[in-house]
Amino acid sequence: MSSERPDPRRKQTVLALVMCLVVSTAPALAVSDAGGGAVAASGVSDARATATHAMDSIDAESLPSVESLPDVTGEANVTDAPAVTFGPAAQQLPDEKREAIRRGLREAAALARQQGAETTPRQVGAARSGAVSGVTQNQDASVDQIQAAVKGSALGALIQSQAADVNQQQVAAGVSGATKGALNQRQDATVEQLQAAGYGASHGAVAQGQKADVTQIQKAAEGAAAGAVGGAKKKRIDRPEKIREAAQGGAYGSLDVGKHAIGDKKKYAALGAAKGAIEQSQVANVKQVQVAALGGASAR
């Protein structure tokens, strides 16, 4: 299931309008990076401000957008889902956390199949590699948090993996980044917020595989998931569809300018845009949330 490609001429015009709204950028914002340190990331502040102004000032129908993701929050029948086995990289994790990863992956595969995706053992194996990487960097997360973040992150990547131009390395990168970003923000977050953010972030990042390398995919997914969860916590947003589309828009938009930007710049753009969009979502519909995040991440 591939994303819809917006008209580039319309996008150029709209993004120019969005940028005109941000006549002065906010000061550099100190944010916590993946390692927990404070990083002066003006890209976060700029993207967040742009997304906020876009939400307030431009008709969402005029903005470029990507295909909204289906709501797949129901129960998953994992009977026919591919088996999940672990290699040496996962052995440092406790048994219960490996089991949480396994459950999340199998549920994601089952839900992806319900959407018409033909999930193969190789694709699930790629998602497993990404999930183990993301969880290994967040070992203090609970089993419920891990299962939710992995389920959402793997689902987004597995659905998008049906596109002919998506490879296993891109799937692994999207799942790794989205899982890591969501779990980085796990404190005071609900499992629904973690799952929705992972879902949107991985899908949006993997969809841009032709415009980005695997490091950029991973960074964009990480930033978008973290921004969406962080903003949802701050404003107490519990609508999964809004969290999902803020994350998807942030990840997709941050990668839409091609491969010249370094990975961390894309991470901060995605983080700021997703956070800015979800923070304004109380007065916006789902499409407005997505296109504001997309515009905020790419208009820089």
pLDDT tens digits, one per residue of 196-239: 999 999 999 999 998 899 999 999 999 999 999 999 999 899 99
Counting runs of H as helices and runs of E as strands, what totals does the chain give? Answer: 11, 2
282 compared with 255, residue with greater pLDDT: 255
Task: Tell me the H-state helices in 163-257.
Answer: 168-184, 191-206, 214-235, 240-254
Provide the percentage of residues in the chain whose pLDDT is more than 70: 67
Give the pLDDT of residue 263: 55
Average model confidence (pLDDT) across the chain: 78
pLDDT at site 269: 75
Identify any residues that bridge with 41 across adjacent strands, giving them in sequence order: 29
Q: What is the 3-state secondary structure (H, E, C) of 79-131?
A: CCCCCCCCCHHHCCCCHHHHHHHHHHHHHHHHHHHHCCCCCCHHHHHHHHHHH
Report the alpha-carbon distance of residue 9 to residue 29 in Å, rounded. 32
The confidence score (pLDDT) of residue 7 equals 45
Inter-residue contact 221 to 264 (CB < 8 Å): no
The model's confidence at residue 260, banded by pLDDT at 50, 70 and 90, is: low
What pLDDT shows up at residue 142? 98
**CA angle in degrees (0–180, nearest 5) for 287-146-275:** 30
- DSSP-derived letter for residue 174 is H
Cross-strand partners of 38: 32
3-class secondary structure for 191-212?
A: HHHHHHHHHHHHHHHHCCHHHC
Band of the pLDDT at 48, cuts 50, 70, 90? very low
Query: Looking at per-residue confidence, does 284 or 168 come out higher?
Result: 168
**For residue 160, is it left (φ>0), alpha (ψ between -120 and 50) or beta?**
alpha
Name the more confident of 18 and 188. Answer: 188
Which of 24-38, 63-77, 175-189, 237-251 is predicted least confidently? 24-38
